[in-house]
Amino acid sequence: MKTIGFIGIYDKTDIMLYTAKILTMLNRKTLIIDSSIMQKAKYVIPTINPTHSYITEFERIDIAVGFSSIQELRSYLGYGIQDDLGYDVVLIDIDTAEGVSNFEMHLADNNFFVTAFDAYSLKRGLEILSGLEISIAMIKLLVAKKLTKEDNQYLDYLSRNYKIRWNERIINYIVTESTTQAIIDNQRTGKIKFKNIGSEFVELISTITTTIIPEITINDIMKIIKTIDKGGY
């Protein structure tokens, strides 16, 4: 089982959902855990009478909401402390330093630090990093309408005394209005589709997916996206 962290205050739900869709099409049984304070997954995923903590299924993706640690989730599923959860890939949305500790993200296969460069996203995201007690490796996933070299340097400067080991690889994602609107339209219809999704977002999802599963190629992902948009599962 591969564990992948998406850490930061920036909204990561859609990035994780579209990544998970590709993973399921690759026959990887995938679980998303939304441990964020906002718990956006509650509102964008169709479900029936959600309780405080629950797991629901959406487009072959299992989604867990309301769990504050990996052990709490194991208990809910009736597993022991050392039991595997039975998934190929687990994606975890975390926006607190406690969550990083509770989900043991220092042991994760990959951790993405997701941030925009508005004051709130950056400063609140850095609060998470400043509270880390164990050194953790992270890949920067930087979001903006326009990214500059100075943005990355500023993040390095602000986090210089934190227990972070930055990966040399940096993922840049340029947000476009057309992609934002396409994602909103998909939420209204309760579908994950790539039609009208901009190339920047497709590249982002492809990069994340190939980071998680290195043996998969970009061409493989492009074929899967065509299948999805033709209604295939």
For the chain, give every domain's residue range. 2-225
Fold of 2-225: Rossmann fold (3.40.50)
What DSSP character marks residue 91? E
Q: Mean pLDDT throughout 101-116?
A: 95
One-letter amino acid for residue 62 of the chain:
D
The model carries a pTM of 0.93
User: pLDDT tens across 173-220, in order?
Assistant: 998 999 999 999 999 888 899 999 999 999 999 999 999 999 999 999
- Which band of pLDDT confidence, cut at 50, 70 and 90, is reported for residue 50? low
Higher pLDDT, 151 or 17: 17
Residue 90 in tokens:
């687990």
Task: Give the pLDDT confidence score for residue 46 in this predicted structure.
Answer: 73
CA distance 51 to 65: 9
Helix (H) or strand (E) holding 229: helix 218-229
pLDDT of 2 higher than 70? yes
